[in-house]
Amino acid sequence: MKILRAYVLKEHAAPLAVAVSGLTVVALVGNLVKLAELVIAKGVSLFDVLRLLIYSVPYLLTFTLPIACLIAMVMAFGRLSSDYELIAIRASGVAPARLVWPILTVGLVMSGMMLALNDRVIPATHLASRRQLKAIGIKHPTAYIEAGAFIKEFEPYVLFVYHVDRQILHNVRIYEPQPNGPTRTILASRGEFEPLPDKRGVRLKLYEGTVDEWNPEHPGSLYKVSFGTYTMNMISDAEAGKRIGKKLKEMSFKELGIERQRLQAEGIDALPVSLELHRKLAFSFATLMFVAFGLSLGLSLHHHERLVIFVWVLGWSMAYYLATIGLNAIALKGWAPPWLAMWTPNFAGGAFAGLRLWHTLRR
């Protein structure tokens, strides 16, 4: 029996590895175009971009691993069924249920791994990714700037650029709110960043523009100053480091619990914190639920029913994640408690998968 269990588990290893790798690569493709632009058009180091790519892998695994488990279950049992090995196993007096428990145990172990991933690895890589982006923004500010959007990273300035052509900014607008007067506005036809001599920051050099200055002698009035070249320091490493704080996605379970208690003690609604905590927990155990459903699907479908298998896998995955998104929105409206909203897809999916598996094993 041990040999048979090891054989069945071995049959699942290769499809699982292929499915995880393939799905993760496909998910990364969406980021590759944007990251390639950073290297080609913005002059960012390839090593820095590869680090960003690596940092995104753990988060993607929370989506790709459960789906890969589902695909691996279907592929492995589909092959066993097409080669009549399942019939041979039944004929030898071994009930399929005796093969199910080891696989469910593996699913539970993988859920435990996902729990550790959501608690430690993903928060750390999220924070590391933001710090890397900040470092890239210091060395290559144009890589940080998106045309047509307000950029608030260069405090106290608010920057707006209509067009970015490699290292040149076109039609630049800079707003500097004043505590005792109207907002100071700087307009320039073009601009470019250059490093400071100490390499700890950058300066923005603007060309052919105007500055709207507040006249302190005549409150409420402005005067316009034209310039050919205007230079201003924008950011430094020290300032960037101080502004990096942890977001909810970058907190461990313990930190989320502490943050929730702090907010509740101050009379602040801690709903977003509770949602993030339960989302991470629920996503961790989604792997076990996907494994259970994959088992029921693989044991009941024949290998030639490829279209049916594809529909089931796609439909199940979409239903789970769309339900999670929808229930998250419902919880944010205050129509359901966070734990119920985030765990309902797991409860419903687990119940359906368990009943289907039980029915399949009884046949």
The DSSP output letter for 190 is E
Name the band, by pLDDT with cuts 50, 70 and 90, for residue 325. very high
Record the tokens describing residue 99, joined without a space.
């093969």
At residue 80 the predicted structure's pLDDT band, cuts being 50, 70 and 90, is: confident
Percent of the chain with pLDDT over 90: 34
Q: Residues 138-169, buried b or exposed e (16+ Cβ, 10 A)?
A: bbbbbbbbeeeeebebbeebbbebeebeeeeb
Res 210 pLDDT > 70: yes
pTM of the complete model:
0.77
Strand 150-151's sheet: what is its strand order?
Answer: 150-151, 158-165, 168-178, 181-195, 201-214, 222-236
Instruction: Give the Cα separation of 282 and 276 in Å (integer).
Output: 10
> SS3 helix, strand, coil % of the chain, rounded to 5?
65, 20, 20
Query: Looking at the predicted structure, is the pLDDT value of residue 238 above 50?
Result: no
Half-sphere exposure of 113 (CA within 13 A, CB side): 13
Could you tell me which of 328, 339, 345 has the C-alpha nearest to residue 288?
Answer: 345
Report d(CA 324, CA 117) in Å as an integer. 19
**Residue environment code for 213-232, b if the CB has 16+ CB neighbours within 10 A, otherwise e:** ebeeeeeeeeeeeeeeebee
Would the pLDDT of 339 be above 60?
yes
Whether residue 14 is predicted with pLDDT greater than 70 in this model: the reply is yes
b vs e for 323-350, b when ≥16 Cβ sit within 10 Å of the residue's Cβ? bbeebbeebeeeeeebeebbbbbbeebb
More confident residue, 177 or 30: 177
- Least Cα distance to 4 among 101, 109, 70 occurs for 101
Q: 55 with 160: CB under 8 angstroms?
A: no
